[in-house]
Chains A and B, each alone.
Chain A
């Protein structure tokens, strides 16, 4: 029964995605929506991404200095580990987990409200492919904007680390710079961006499914919003394990 239920949900999700990835009826309308979604979901998230990245970058640097650094290790080790953590996990996976909360609940509640107020029915009656019109721009918008968010996050995290160095005097800036530059592997940046693309798809399509398929009233919209955040977070964590293994 449990498996049957989840297979049914998976089947409905796949069918919705099939409808979503249909050719838009009007490219002009699609691009209008696409730009709007990039601004709403991506550009409007830059603030929170920069804020969190800056402080987490600073905290990682302090923790590394206090707990990893020892006389037996080179002085650049704090900077090195800070960079690796930011690049490999924080800016892709953890940032996407945070965005799953912000963007996921936004998408699920928007589509859920449109469903219960019959706005989606109105689109269907007009002969518009409502799934493609509403969901496709969100998915493509997130996929487009996500690499920029990852790069901004990594850069701001490193700025946060420098802040602990210059303002907090936690470690000398030269040591931090040496660590950040030490044995840099450009593939790690690409790995982070590739991972974020998978996560961007999850945090836009799963909440869209939860919102689009809402039945009932406002209580169900709230429930769909919560389900969207929980489901996309769990899926991000699972896929992170596989992607890390696959790409490393």
Chain B
């Protein structure tokens, strides 16, 4: 479990995060949503230690990440996997080598075992047959799947995803969402996803945190969104007239969204 307590982050005189307190639960897909520039990525960077909070605490199972020694932070990071917006695969390494990289660095497995583990991870993300290709030779969706395979290679306890669906078509986004949710349940990970994608919000959001201008505006589950009275949230989720009309129709007719 990750707990954030009274987190503030400022850059020079600009306050980006203002008094954020929340809990990211184990075995669930926790979503951070909000407009561009609302502070989602800054919050995630504070969680993984790429940025240091101006004030506040980030607790991993009760241990403050900010107060940890350098060595403890390194050990903690080995329990984290991260999928970046751009996938951030190593250009000079093949798909298989990318997935093997964390195993090469931190595991005591033999070469054969590392290769087998990497192949298992690639199979898990349905990428069998692409192992010899380089990141530049595969599609954006495949790159994201390789990034997922690399992130889960060491069986992390915490999985962070920064806009995993950006630049992908709706169908591929759905595949990535299902993959992330499946992996979260399978390995009982704490998964935190930064997203703009409303399909993801409604489809896999088990714990949703809405950030507005650096503050936590709303927290709940996807089923609560439809009937939420928080105007900022509903304006953000149902941004277009079409979606607004659909929401009104659903509420007026007392309909429920059925998840497949």
Please give the residue numbers on chain A whose beta carbons come within 8 Å of chain B beta carbons, in ascending order: 25-26, 28-29, 113-114, 117-119, 121-122, 124-128
Contact = CB atoms under 8 A, between A and B. Distances in A.
Interface stretch (B52-60, B70-78, B165-173, B222-230): B70-78
B80 interface: yes
Contact of A125 (B80, B86, B89, B90): B80
Given A125-B50, A126-B77, A26 B105 contact: yes
30 contacts: A25-B105, A25-B106, A28-B104, A29-B104, A113-B91, A114-B91, A117-B86, A119-B88, A119-B89, A119-B90, A119-B91, A121-B50, A121-B82, A121-B84, A122-B84, A122-B90, A124-B50, A125-B50, A125-B80, A125-B82, A125-B160, A126-B77, A126-B78, A126-B80, A126-B102, A127-B74, A127-B75, A127-B76, A127-B78, A128-B105
Contacts of B91: 113-114, 117, 119
A29 B105 contact: yes
Given A25-B105, A122-B82, A127-B75, 6 more contacts: A25-B106, A29-B104, A119-B91, A121-B84, A126-B80, A126-B102
B237 interface: no
Contacts, number: 52
A29 B89 CA distance: 17
B86 A118 contact: yes
A117 B88 CA distance: 6
B201 interface: no
Contacts of A119: 88-91
Contacts of A114: 91
Interface of B: 48, 50, 73-78, 80, 82, 84-86, 88-91, 101-102, 104-106, 160
Most A Cβ at <10 Å: residue of B48, B75, B84 = B84
Nearest to B107: A26
Most B Cβ at <10 Å: residue of A28, A121, A122, A128 = A122
Most B Cβ at <10 Å: residue of A26, A114, A119, A126 = A126
A29 B82 CA distance: 21
A127 B65 CA distance: 14
Contacts of A126: 77-78, 80, 101-102, 105-106
A122 B160 CA distance: 11
B77 A26 contact: no
A153 B6 CA distance: 62
A127 B77 contact: yes
A56 B74 CA distance: 51
Contacts of A121: 50, 82, 84, 88
B88 A26 contact: no
Nearest to B89: A119
A25 B105 CA distance: 7
Given A119-B90, A125-B77, A26 B50 contact: no
Contacts of B102: 126
Contacts of B50: 121, 124-125
A178 to B, nearest CB: 51
A51 B37 CA distance: 53
Nearest to A32: B104
Contacts of B104: 26, 28-29
